[in-house]
Copies of this chain bind each other. A is one copy, B any other.
Amino acid sequence: MAEENQELRKAGLKVTLPRVKILQILETSQLASGHMSAEDVYMALRTAGEDVGLATVYRVLTQFEGAGLVTRHNFESGHSVFELARGEHHDHMVCVDSGEVVEFTDPVIEQRQREIAAQHGYELVDHSLVLHVRKKASPV
């Protein structure tokens, strides 16, 4: 009877074991700053002894996305990663070598984006910015 139940109800979703568990996993995951693939979540579930099918993980994550509980990213082709939506927006930096993910926001960039869209007669609805970075070459 944790607050997860409320979150789910508020999102209009029935409170079921798989949904609660998946929510908990996402909340506690420190993996890549909380960015998990469906497979990651699936494995975390069975490590936790929960017997939830992979198809259900996909279904639930997609529902969560629709409900705004979770954000889906396509950092690289081939598969998506999901993270809990914590209200405030942020962008990502992904290390091309290690896969580490760092989050950041920059008001200058945010502002310029709005201006640029406006210059072309558009309004900014959303955006996705991913910096592909590499640890600074440290002297050998």
Interface size class of A (residues with CB under 8 A): 35 or more
Taken together as a complex, chains A and B put the C-alpha atoms of A113 and B96 apart, in Å, by 16
Any chain B CB within 8 A of the CB of A117?
Answer: yes
Of A2-10, A17-25, A40-48, A122-130, which stretch is located at the interface?
A122-130
**This protein's copies in its complex:** 2
Q: Which residues of B contact A32 (CB under 8 A)?
A: none
Any chain B CB within 8 A of the CB of A131?
Answer: yes
Contact with B along A62-80 (1 / 0, CB 8 A): 0000000000101011011
A133-B129 contact given A77-B72, A117-B93, CB 8 Å threshold: no
- Please name 11 further chain A to chain B contacts, defined as beta carbons within 8 Å, in addition to the given A123-B136, A127-B130, sorted by A numbering: A93-B116, A93-B117, A96-B126, A104-B120, A112-B112, A117-B133, A124-B133, A125-B132, A125-B133, A126-B131, A127-B132
Question: Please, could you name 27 A-B residue pairs with CB atoms under 8 Å apart, sorted by A?
Answer: A74-B74, A74-B76, A74-B77, A77-B80, A93-B120, A95-B122, A96-B125, A104-B116, A106-B112, A108-B108, A108-B109, A109-B109, A109-B112, A116-B131, A117-B131, A122-B131, A122-B134, A122-B136, A123-B133, A123-B134, A124-B133, A125-B132, A126-B132, A127-B130, A127-B131, A128-B132, A129-B129
